[in-house]
Amino acid sequence: EPEVTQTPSHQVTQMGQEVILRCVPISNHLYFYWYRQILGQKVEFLVSFYNNEISEKSEIFDDQFSVERPDGSNFTLKIRSTKLEDSAMYFCASRRDRGETQYFGPGTRLLVL
Amino acid sequence: EDQVTQSPEALRLQEGESSSLNCSYTVSGLRGLFWYRQDPGKGPEFLFTLYSAGEEKEKERLKATLTKKESFLHITAPKPEDSATYLCAVQVEIQGAQKLVFGQGTRLTINP
C-alpha cells in the first residue's frame, strides 16, 4: 500500500542553523501539506501546497519557513534559522484530490538546542 | 474561529468494556470530519471520513457517527492493541484552500 515517507526520522540542530525536512508524498497525489505537533499539544497546520505554489499558510509559517517541490517526487520544508520553539514533530501529508483524505507520514522529530 | 474539542482527554478501560469518544466542532465551511489513530512517536493513521450528518462508518471494533455539531467514535469490546491516541480533525475550506483543524485527542488505554 502506498505511503508517505519522511527523512530524517530525527534531527538535532543548534539554534540559528538551517534545517531541511524531506517528504516523499504518495505518487498520484496532488495536494501536499506540512503540520507540526509540539510535545503534548495539538497537531497544527503549517502550509498547503498545490500546483507548485502555496495555497494557504498559517501564522506560524513566517519568513523563516519555506517549502519546495524540487522534482516530481520530493516535497521539502526548510527552516532558515531555527529557534528553540521550533522543536516539534513535523508531519508531511498528501491527498489526491479536493475533499479527500489526507495521509500522513511518520514524522521528523526536530530538536533545537 | 474554527475549533475542535475532544472529550475525555484520557480514558482507561478494561478489555471488553465498550465506550465512546466525543468530538465537538464549531467551524465554517466544513468539508468532512476525519478520525485518525496516533501511536506514540508516530504519524496519524487514517481511520474514517464522514461528510454529512447521519453518516456512520464501521471498521472492526470501531464505529464513527456524525451529527451537525459533533462526532462520536464508539469502541466495542476493545482489546489492548486498541490503546492509542484518537484524533478528530475537521477539514475546512478558506478561499478555495483546504486544511485540517485537529482536536487535542483522547488518549485511550485498554487494560488486559
Report the distance separating Cα B39 and Cα B42, nearest Å: 5
Residue A69 lies in a domain: yes
How close does chain B come to A43, measured CA to CA in Å?
6
Percent of chain B with pLDDT over 70: 100
How close does chain B come to A20, measured CA to CA in Å?
19
Number of separate domains in chain A: 1
CATH of the domain at A76: 2.60.40.10
How many residues are present in chain A? 113
Q: Of A23, A35, A101, A110, which to mutate for an interface test with B (greatest number of B Cβ within 10 Å)? A: A101
Tens digit of each residue's pLDDT (9 = 90 or more) over B6-24:
999 999 999 999 999 999 9
Which chain B residue shows the shortest CA-CA distance from A103? B46
Report the distance separating Cα B20 and Cα B7, nearest Å: 9
Q: Does the distance separating the beta carbons of A99 and B44 come in below 8 Å?
A: no
* Domain with A80 in it: 5-96
Instruction: Supply the pLDDT for residue B29.
Output: 72
Tens digit of each residue's pLDDT (9 = 90 or more) over A44-61:
999 999 999 999 999 999
Residue A106 lies in a domain: no
Instruction: Provide mean pLDDT across the span A78-87.
Output: 97
Give, in degrees to the nearest 5, the angle at Cα A111 between A42 and A74. Answer: 80
**Lowest-pLDDT choice from A17-21, A95-99, B88-92:** A95-99
Tens digit of each residue's pLDDT (9 = 90 or more) over B83-107:
999 999 999 887 778 899 999 999 9
Residue A108 lies in a domain: no
Report the distance separating Cα B41 and Cα A88, nearest Å: 11
A49 and B CB contact within 8 Å = no
Tens digit of each residue's pLDDT (9 = 90 or more) over B28-58:
777 899 999 999 999 999 999 999 999 999 9
Tell me which CATH code domain B3-104 carries.
2.60.40.10
Instruction: Supply the pLDDT for residue B71.
Output: 97
Residue A12 lies in a domain: yes
Residue A109 lies in a domain: no
Instruction: Supply the pLDDT for residue B87.
Output: 98
